[in-house]
Each structure stands twice: as C-alpha cells, then as structure tokens.
Amino acid sequence: MKNAVSCSLMKKLDQNTIRRIGIPSLVLMERAALKTAEEMEKVLKKTEEKILCVCGSGNNGGDGIAIARILFLHGYHTEIFMAGNLSHMTEETKQQYDIARNYQVPVVNNPQWQEYTTIVDAVFGVGLARPVEGRYADLLHEMNRTSAWKVAVDIPSGVNGDTGAVMGTAFSADLTVTFAFRKAGLCLFPGRKLAGKTVTADIGIYESPDLMEPWYLMDDSDIEKLPPRDPEGNKGTFGKVLAVAGSAGMCGAAYFCASAALASGAGMVKVLTEKENRIPLQTLLPEAIVDCSEKPEGWKKALDWCDVLIIGPGIGKSERSRMLLSWFLEHTSGEKPVILDADGLNLLAENPQWKKFLGKHTILTPHMGEMSRLTGKTIAELQKDRIAAAREMAKTTGAICVLKDACTVTASPDGALWLNLSGNPGMAAAGSGDVLTGVLAGMCCMELGEKLPAPDKAAALGVYIHGRAGDLAAKTKGEYGMKAGDLLPAVSEVTGYGGKYEKI
C-alpha cells in the first residue's frame, strides 16, 4: 500500500524536507530533473530528437529548465522556451535559468512547433489555483496540436492536482513523471487520462508522520498479504455469506454476487430470493444454498446463520423488496458486515429514515447514478470532486462508501481514503458491479478472523482485486468482449491460494 497526496500536503512535505530535514530546494529540483531525464532517455534516440522544454516562471519551470540542460549536456538537440514572465521567476528557477545560459543551452522566443519531436510541459505545477485562460490557454492548445511525444513534469499543466478536473484547458501528456508521491489528480479522471503513463520518482521527499493524510493506493503487495487458508478450517470457519438478491425471473445479479463471494474466499453462500429463481440458481450455481423464505421467521434464520450480509442486487423496488430491506437493516444493527448495493441503495434513497441503521459495519457501493439519488446532487456536480462526495457520504452515514467510477474511491467515516488504480474500460458491463459486491463479501469473511485490520481496508482491497481480475480477463477476452462472467475465474486466480498467485 502506498500513499496518495493532496496538493496542500505535497507542499507541506516539500517545505518540511527543505526546512526541517535541511535539503535545499535547488537540490530537490535537480533530483526531479535528473529523474525526469532518466525516464525520458529510456525512449529518446539522440540522432533523431529535437526537444523543446516549455517552462513557466515558478518552480515547475525550474524543473523544466534543468531537464533541458541535462538532456542538452547528454547530447540531445534541446531548446528552452520561457512561457512565464522572466521578471517573475522564483529564486530557484532564476538560478536554473542562469546555469542553463552559462552552459549555452539554446533559448527560443518563437518556436516552430512542428519541428519538435518531443515537448516537455513545465508550465504549471500542482500549485495552479485558477483556470488556464488567455495566452497560456493558447499555448497549451498549441502544444497539444503538435505530433510530438509529450512529457509532463509532475502533473500536466491545467489538471487539478486534487480532483483530476481540467481547469479551463490542460496539456495532454504521453508520460508524466511525478515526484515523491502520486497526486490524487493523477488517479482520478480526466487527469489520469491526460497524464498518460505515470511514473512516481523518488527525489528525497518522504513521509512525515505528523503531516500525512490517510490517503492510500492499494497495490499487488497487498494481495500478497492475504492469509493462507487454515489447514484445520472448514466451510463454516471461512465465512458464511447471505445474499438477499434477485427479483422474480431476474436471477443474474444474485448469481454473480454469490459466485464472486465463493471465488474470493467465502466458505458458504446462501441466496435469499424469489421462488421463481430457485431452479435457475441451483442449475447455475449448485455450490450455493437457495432460500425462498417469504416471512420474517425464515429471514431471521437466514440472518442468524450468516456472518456477512449482502442485500440489494437485482431485488427491484417492489413493496416486498422494501419490506426486506427495512427488516434486514433494522435487525442487523452493527452485529455483522452489511454490503448494500444496487436496488438496496435506490430504496435507501427513497427512505432516508433508514440511514439510522447504518454504521461502520455497512459498506455502501453506489455508482454515480445511485450516488446522485442518495445525495440529491447531479452526476456532474459529484464528478467535480469525487473524493469530497465519497467522504461526505461516509461522514453523514457513518458507513464505508465505495463510490464506483473509473477510479473508485473508498472512504471510511474516520477519514481514511483509498483511490483505486486497477481495472480497465472493459469492466463497464452489466453485472460487473454485482461481482464487486461478492468480492467485498469475500474480503469481509477474511476480516472476520481479524486477519485484515478493518472492514474499510477490506473493502478497498476488494475493489483493487476486482480491478486486477478485470485486467487479467482483458488479456484473454479484450476490453470490448469482456462480460461479468469473465471476471469470476479471474477473481480466483488473482486471490490465489494463500495470497500467492502468478503475477499479472
């Protein structure tokens, strides 16, 4: 697990390194430039390149000037274009400019854009606070129109470092070399797309325990920490999942979430559903128990039996579904993990008084449409700041919020946050969310034995595993042809036995 950072925290860590640790700002700038040049030289060919570093007057521009000087001294045809006002340069940027001039690095005033094979964007860094307009907007448009390979320094100019939003206009990079930590805006779309391939470079800025925010990125090392199966365990000790899912004749969602729970480690799964679904489910998934109880006495037996409850996939919004959700929410009350998904969320939006039954034992899994219904905000409003939307939902409900999107945000009511980098567009298919719900249940089963530290981390890990399963499925099915069912065998392969699996 790695840290993600906000722009404000990155500034604090930078200043902490300079003032408390004692590393001069110019040294950090030099390290940033060296790391960027190093990544670029993995691709560049000396005899064919003409490189232009477009530099602002702030410290991001200083990075760009230093990159130009390093590449020039390494034998590349490299030029500098100062986009910022020379009289407004920071002290470090002015020093870098003077050093570059002393080394006779060419500076151009009217670049012929189509002559360059590589454009380096060092106009604005993470400190950009207002939309890009006027001549700077024209400049970024000009840079984007070129056919050159495009490299961004720390973050593409015009991308909001906290939300990933485009601030008026933004540079579109093929490679972004960011420093110390990945910024949230490089995880969230459209910033993540505009960044292209993102490399996080170590330049000597590290965690400071008294400053860090609990913002994280899961990675493969977290999957490797999954505990091995207890050789003395049995189907009961590995967790029992109850899925209240599927309306009459609509058993697909129930099948997907139940199958995924088994694929991700649950020992037993029972599906509480309509009687019309019994035969199809027993045929599709004979490993699951099918329960068609219609009255609270049967519901209580099923609830007492399970360790983890799923409720919502495919249940519809009938009066019976309303009764089911109300009864289960009231009778769970923090005793066991509850994953509320799909129609369960839509019914919750129509019955906000049920929020009193939620808490940290509850995992809410809304996509943007469901989140819009829960909050009364438009999808466009939510997309402006997905982190804020997820954190507000977690804060107001006391539940864990898994806000599903191209970059899913998992927020805990205690302030912890995870941004997900796994997955691909092929997963945008019917049933994929139901598979995620089942994977979350499987992770909660592991958490029952205190093998994972908390249900919020279990939820974040489930999101990551679901995405990695999508990445694996895409290798054989392709992003256009993937179906939700293709994720199920991939989930088993990713989690593997004892957390050991072949690297994807």
Tens digit of pLDDT for each residue in 239-291? 999 999 999 988 999 999 999 999 999 999 999 999 999 999 999 999 999 99
pTM above 0.85, yes or no: yes
Identify whether residues 98 and 242 lie together within a single domain: no
Q: Domain total for the chain?
A: 2
Residue 102's CATH number? 3.40.50.10260
Residues 239 and 194 in one domain: no
Domain-embedded: residue 122:
yes
Q: Is residue 193 located within the same domain as residue 296?
A: no
pLDDT at 224: 87
212 domain-assigned? no
201 and 322 belong to one structural domain: no
Model confidence band, residue 498 (pLDDT cutoffs 50, 70, 90) = very low
Residues 30 and 74 both lie in one domain: yes
Q: What's the number of CA atoms in the CB half-sphere (13 Å) around residue 364?
A: 35
Asked which of 160, 181, 207 is the last residue of a domain, the reply is 207
Residues 170 and 258 in one domain: no
Instruction: Look at 45-49, 66-70, 109-113, 407-411 and tell me which has the smallest mean pLDDT.
Output: 45-49
Long-range contact pairs involving 255-258 (C-beta distance under 8 Å, separation at least 24): 255/280, 255/281, 255/284, 255/285, 256/313, 256/431, 256/434, 256/435, 256/438, 256/484, 256/485, 256/488, 257/310, 257/313, 257/341, 257/434, 257/435, 257/437, 257/438, 257/441, 258/285, 258/288, 258/438
> Residue 107 falls within a domain, yes or no?
yes
pLDDT score at 275: 96
Choose between 449 and 247: higher pLDDT.
247
Per-residue pLDDT tens over the stretch 75-132: 999 999 999 999 999 999 999 999 999 999 999 999 999 999 999 999 999 999 999 9
Range of the structural domain that residue 313 is part of: 220-495
- Per-residue pLDDT for 495 more than 80? yes
Q: How far is residue 69's CA from residue 92's CA, in Å, rounded to a whole number?
A: 15
Which CATH number goes with the domain that contains 264?
3.40.1190.20
Q: Which of 157, 172, 207 is the last residue of a domain?
A: 207
Same domain, 150 and 254: no
Our separate counts of H helices and E strands in the chain read 18, 19
Look over the chain and give the mean of its residue pLDDT values, rounded to a whole number: 95
DSSP letter (8 states) at residue 345: H
Tell me: pLDDT of 450 over 60: no
Cis peptide upstream of residue 190 (ω within 30 degrees of 0): yes
Q: With contact defined as beta carbons under 8 Å apart, do 128 and 120 qualify?
A: no
Q: Which residue has the tokens 């205690």?
A: 414
pLDDT in the model for residue 449: 60
State which of 168, 184, 207 marks the end of a domain.
207
User: The sheet that has 400-403: what strands, in order across it?
Assistant: 182-183, 2-5, 215-217, 417-419, 409-411, 400-403, 362-364, 338-340, 308-311, 240-244, 268-272, 289-291
Which amino acid would we find at residue 24?
P
**326, part of any domain:** yes
User: Residues for the chain: how many in total?
Assistant: 504
